[in-house]
Chains A and B, each alone.
Chain A
Amino acid sequence: MKRANAWATYLQVSPLALVFLLFLVVPIATIIVVSFFDYNTTQIIPAFLLQNYEELLLSPVTWRTYGQTIQFSVVTWAITLVIGFTVSYFLAFHVRSATWQMVLFLVCTIPFWTSNVIRMISWIPFLGRNGLANMTLIQLGLIKEPLEFLLFSNFAVVLTYVHLYTLFMVVPIFNSMMRIDRSLLEAARDAGASGWQTLWTVIVPLCKPGIAIGSIFIVTIVMGDFVTVRMMSGGQSASVSLMMMNAMSLLQYPAAAANAVVLLLLVLFTVAAMMRLVDIRKEL
């Protein structure tokens, strides 16, 4: 009887395990294997070389690009966290009626009804030298010359990230806040805590899992992005994924694979660190 049970368990797990094996483990294993291969202009040659990693890790360009990518991630993370937390707080604690909470929450998702790319590209005519933002500011007499930093700059990249991805922060934090037992807040007030104290010692700790999940979303998305960086910086900035794209477009797959492995390790490390700080499962 016990044996049969064990088999049933394995059987139940097997579909998902197979899917993961085929579409996650095998591809990643392939990438790791290829990252040690040699290549020339037209083909990749099976081998075991450390050259791809040497070229990658010994180049100052790599370090600068990784620095830039991490910078984008951290800045985007900080801004989306502040905005996401504020919006969730408003929705969860200031809006009283459950109906309105849902309505306003849905309003937040409206931009997601259009494609990611469209939302990104729409910024280009808006921020351009002769774009809406500059024209308005000039007509209001606030500036004389168009502001050039608005488009094709790191500013534009971060702005777009924030616009595209803040919702990924709002949803999990809002979810965490809705689970907070309201009597805890009353208890805090009864115990004489000020508004800030309640926020800092009651709400924030209880929102940690939501914050952690949102942060994982933001960091992994931004670290792996290349389209936004390329479009919004006008090719002026680099990101790690963009480096991989460049290598791949010249058939230098092993070099790209080596870079992918390094990025994967970095992201895994970051996510692991977040999991250490917050036990997500406890709250789910």
Chain B
Amino acid sequence: MARKRNLGRRSVLKGTAGFAGAAIGSGAITGFPVIWAQNNKNIVLRQCGTGVSAINEIAEKCKADLGITLQMTALDSDAVVQRVVTQPNSFDIGDIEYWMCKKVFPANTLQAMNVKKIKYFDKIVPIFTTGKLKPDSVIAQGTAPNTVSFVEGAGSTKFAKGQTDWFTMIPTIYNADTLGIRPDLVGRKIENWKDILDPKFKGKTSILNIPSIGIMDAAMICESAGIVKYGDKGNMTKAEIDKTIDFLIKTKKDGQFRAFWKTFDESVNLMASGEVVIQSMWSPAVSAVRGKGIPCTYQPLKEGYRAWGGGLSLAKHLQGPQLDAAYDYINWYLSGWVGAFLNRQGYYSAVLETAKANMTPDEWGFWMEGKPAQGDIKNPQGQVVEKAGAVRDGGSFYDRMGAVACWNAVMDEDRYMVQKWNSFIAA
């Protein structure tokens, strides 16, 4: 589920070297806590997580601002889950997604954070605290972040019903996913998830073949087409899974799908080559297609978005100066520079106020308010990604995150779902 390979050759080298270094480094630190307690320069934090938020620039800026050496390891989501559960001493900061949090936090290898030590806690977007973006919002289905954001107390692994002082994860990146289309080739208006089933697009559609996310996209399609009515798309019953997969198999046999993609680049190539004209997509993939000069729209749909989000969590073994440094890192993460960086990539960040202060009014208007760009919009690396006059697909932050129908989730019937998914691919 690596949404974007921000992982360059350099970071891989760093990462590997890091393991050796970290083993020595952390040992020395716990040995003499007093001497280095006030000195972040000798602190090394090993952050392991999905590729999306393992960004070199953040590690470099962190070193410059705080003196903390951040060693990032990017893994695919399944490997992250596995490492957090089975090798709890191999990392200090776990950069995981909310649905994973539901899986791994009960394994007691992570520690909750004291909200009193989080400087910008009150300014974090309420999706992650109360669950409601605006006071009148309805909480979406699936693993909504607020349901796994708090535990009952220090050291507890039981998720709390409401807010407590013990926060499981600091949100890093989140976004709302939908279908990508080739506006030049679809030749009609696309408004609903079910439009992917239009016989006109026979053999020109694709959905992703990552069972845990693919099933969600499939559910959005089935619900939109009136095939299945779900109690909770994020936690389907066996009967709901059966109906969904049966419908997918039928659709596949009718030749509606061209292919099923598994990696970011596959989705880009399918779209760019014109093999498909409408498919499940992730937002950076849409940018990548557009980057080739090929029109591609991240189409907002009436039923809403499928959202996902990641966050930083602290390893259980962190203590003393390393724990203090981890809090420093978290507070720095939320203080604006990182937020602006992430927003410029088309993702959303946790504390909007501080990010806004680090962006130009034009950037803020384009990425967050859905306003037409006044000048060229550049990505964090300085390349122009949108020309003046462009408007972000789906509009403003509140339009997009306010229309989330479902969060990525892990189901109780996970094992059954995967078996059924395999039968769909084999059919």
Please report A residues at the B interface, Cβ cutoff 8 Å. Answer: 41-43, 55, 59-61, 64-65, 68, 124-125, 128-131, 148, 151-152, 230, 233-238, 242-243, 246-247, 249-252
Cβ–Cβ < 8 Å partners of A234 in chain B = 206, 258-261
CA separation between A237 and B209, bound complex, in Å?
12
B239 proximal to A (CB < 8 A):
no
What are 26 A-B contacts with C-beta separation under 8 Å? A41-B103, A42-B85, A42-B107, A43-B86, A55-B419, A61-B423, A64-B426, A65-B426, A68-B426, A128-B275, A130-B273, A152-B259, A234-B260, A234-B261, A235-B209, A235-B262, A235-B425, A236-B259, A236-B425, A238-B422, A243-B426, A246-B418, A246-B421, A247-B418, A250-B414, A252-B415
Cβ–Cβ < 8 Å partners of A131 in chain B = 273
Cβ–Cβ < 8 Å partners of B25 in chain A = none
Contact in complex: B414, A129 (CB < 8 Å): no
Contact in complex: A42, B81 (CB < 8 Å): yes
Question: Interface majority SS on B: helix, strand, loop or mixed?
Answer: helix
Smallest beta-carbon distance A170→chain B, Å: 32
Extra contacts besides A41-B103, A42-B82, A247-B422 (18): CB < 8 Å: A42-B81, A42-B103, A43-B86, A59-B419, A61-B423, A128-B275, A129-B273, A129-B274, A148-B203, A152-B259, A235-B262, A235-B425, A238-B426, A243-B422, A246-B418, A247-B418, A251-B82, A252-B418
6 closest cross-chain pairs (CB), A and B: A234-B259, A235-B260, A238-B426, A61-B423, A235-B209, A42-B85
B194 proximal to A (CB < 8 A):
no
CA separation between A43 and B104, bound complex, in Å?
10
- Most chain A beta-carbon contacts within 10 A, residue among B107, B211, B259, B414: B259
Cβ–Cβ < 8 Å partners of A124 in chain B = 269
CA separation between A235 and B203, bound complex, in Å?
13
Among B228-271, those with CB < 8 Å from A are: 252, 257-262, 269
B173 proximal to A (CB < 8 A):
no
Among B372-427, those with CB < 8 Å from A are: 410, 414-415, 418-419, 421-423, 425-427
Contact in complex: B257, A236 (CB < 8 Å): yes
A65-B426, A236-B252, A236-B260 are contacts. A42–B419 as well, Cβ < 8 Å? no
CA separation between A250 and B81, bound complex, in Å?
10
Smallest beta-carbon distance A155→chain B, Å: 14
Cβ–Cβ < 8 Å partners of B203 in chain A = 148
Cβ–Cβ < 8 Å partners of B85 in chain A = 42-43
Which residue of the partner chain A has the closest CB to B414?
Answer: A41
Which residue of the partner chain B has the closest CB to A152?
Answer: B259
- Most chain B beta-carbon contacts within 10 A, residue among A42, A43, A238, A247: A42
Cβ–Cβ < 8 Å partners of A249 in chain B = 76, 78
Cβ–Cβ < 8 Å partners of A252 in chain B = 415, 418
CA separation between A230 and B208, bound complex, in Å?
13
CA separation between A247 and B211, bound complex, in Å?
10
Smallest beta-carbon distance A68→chain B, Å: 7
- Most chain B beta-carbon contacts within 10 A, residue among A68, A243, A249: A249
Smallest beta-carbon distance B97→chain A, Å: 14
A235-B260, A235-B261, A235-B425 are contacts. A42–B274 as well, Cβ < 8 Å? no
Question: Interface majority SS on A: helix, strand, loop or mixed?
Answer: loop
CA separation between A61 and B422, bound complex, in Å?
8
Instruction: Please pick, from B257, B258, B275, B426, the residue contacting A61 in the complex, using a CB distance under 8 A.
Output: B426
CA separation between A148 and B259, bound complex, in Å?
12
Instruction: Please pick, from B274, B418, B419, B427, the residue contacting A130 in the complex, using a CB distance under 8 A.
Output: B274
Residues 297-316 of chain B, each 1 if its beta carbon lies under 8 Å from chain A, else 0 = 00000000000000000000
Smallest beta-carbon distance A47→chain B, Å: 15
Among B51-72, those with CB < 8 Å from A are: none
A42-B81, A236-B257, A236-B260 are contacts. A250–B418 as well, Cβ < 8 Å? yes
Which residue of the partner chain A has the closest CB to B78?
Answer: A249
Cβ–Cβ < 8 Å partners of A251 in chain B = 78, 81-82
Contact in complex: B418, A235 (CB < 8 Å): no
Which residue of the partner chain B has the closest CB to A151?
Answer: B275
Smallest beta-carbon distance B252→chain A, Å: 7
Cβ–Cβ < 8 Å partners of A247 in chain B = 418, 422
Cβ–Cβ < 8 Å partners of B259 in chain A = 152, 233-236
Cβ–Cβ < 8 Å partners of B82 in chain A = 42, 251
- Most chain A beta-carbon contacts within 10 A, residue among B82, B209, B269, B275: B275
CA separation between A233 and B423, bound complex, in Å?
16
CA separation between A41 and B415, bound complex, in Å?
8
A61-B423, A246-B211 are contacts. A152–B258 as well, Cβ < 8 Å? yes
Contact in complex: B211, A250 (CB < 8 Å): yes
CA separation between A64 and B423, bound complex, in Å?
9
Cβ–Cβ < 8 Å partners of B427 in chain A = 64
Among B101-138, those with CB < 8 Å from A are: 103-104, 107
Cβ–Cβ < 8 Å partners of A152 in chain B = 258-259, 275
Which residue of the partner chain A has the closest CB to B76?
Answer: A249
A128-B273, A129-B275, A234-B259 are contacts. A250–B426 as well, Cβ < 8 Å? no
Contact in complex: B410, A41 (CB < 8 Å): yes
Cβ–Cβ < 8 Å partners of A235 in chain B = 209, 259-262, 425
Cβ–Cβ < 8 Å partners of A42 in chain B = 81-82, 85, 103-104, 107
Smallest beta-carbon distance A60→chain B, Å: 8
Cβ–Cβ < 8 Å partners of A41 in chain B = 103, 410, 414-415
Among B318-353, those with CB < 8 Å from A are: none
